[in-house]
Amino acid sequence: MHRDHLDELESESIFILREAFAKFDNLAMLWSIGKDSTALLWLARKAFFGHVPFPLVHIDTSYKIPSMIEYRDRVVREWNLQLVVGMNTRVLEEGRTFPNGRATRVECCGMLKKDALQDVIAQYKYTGIIVGVRRDEDPTRAKERYFSPRNATMEWNASDQPPEFWNQFKTDFAPGTHIRIHPLLHWTELNVWEYIARERIPVHPLYFDDGTGHRYRSLGCAPCTAPMVSTATTVQEIVEELRATRVPERAGRAQDHESEDAFEKLRRDGYM
């Protein structure tokens, strides 16, 4: 049987998902509603024969585009998923967040995403979180491992990560270590869209041109995420577009332009 590059990517990701489920207790999967985490969710359904044996965690900042929440709830119903929603209601009630409060975009991400995720992990005592990050999305993520330990406060030490050679993964960590698992680390943005096309994975309509000549390439909070110029109305058209573009994937994320180390700071402090 002929195996193409997508078969190889799929096989390795499914192996990592099953290895994580076998080695770690009380796992959860972070679901941002975006293309990467939705492709990862599809892989989890394949890995466990149509059933996802761990809850999905969605961090709701309250600033998501409303149709994203509608899409989330519909997929949860149709795929019979267990959903846990985290929200930092305290800072929202205090009015400290961007754009109305004094917080910068990066500070707002820290409060609404990182702090909310840490609260969910502490509340449900998750020992590991499965995340759909890719090395090619940002230079900071290139430093990641498939099985990445965090300290007691969920902080990430990029210079102290276990070696991973020839698919030999370290899965034995000291008791109490929090683990992040990254089954899509070896994928590219183009790989994800090729896989979405092959598997016919239902992704959010915001990824396609709505008739205005624009579409979203990366989904985030409405005040900080801008669409890009594009006339792609199908997955295949997105694939062709990506094969020719040199525009960075997160070019529409305003917080990334606020400071040079914004993304790395969020990761080191405990978010994705």
Half-sphere exposure of 238 (CA within 13 A, CB side): 26
The answer to whether the beta carbons of residues 131 and 16 sit under 8 Å apart is no
Domains of the chain by start residue, with CATH: 5-188+259-269 (3.40.50.620), 190-255 (no CATH)
pLDDT of residue 236: 97
The answer to whether the beta carbons of residues 13 and 45 sit under 8 Å apart is no
pLDDT of residue 109: 85
- Residue 125 region, left (φ>0) first, then alpha (ψ -120 to 50), else beta? left
Q: Indicate the pairing of strand 228-229 with strand 214-215.
A: antiparallel
pLDDT of residue 161: 75
Half-sphere exposure of 254 (CA within 13 A, CB side): 15
pLDDT of residue 44: 98
**Model pTM score:** 0.88
Q: Indicate the pairing of strand 128-130 with strand 27-30.
A: parallel
pLDDT of residue 1: 54
Q: Decide: residue 51, CB within 10 A, 0-12 exposed, 13-18 middle, 19+ buried.
A: exposed
pLDDT in tens, the chain (272 residues): 567 999 999 999 999 999 999 999 999 999 999 999 999 999 999 999 999 999 999 999 999 999 999 999 999 999 999 999 999 999 888 888 887 777 788 888 888 898 999 999 999 999 999 999 998 887 777 778 899 888 766 677 766 777 777 677 888 888 888 899 999 999 999 999 999 999 999 999 999 999 999 999 999 898 888 899 999 999 999 999 999 988 877 665 555 545 555 555 555 555 55
Kindly state the tokens that stand for 234: 């199908």
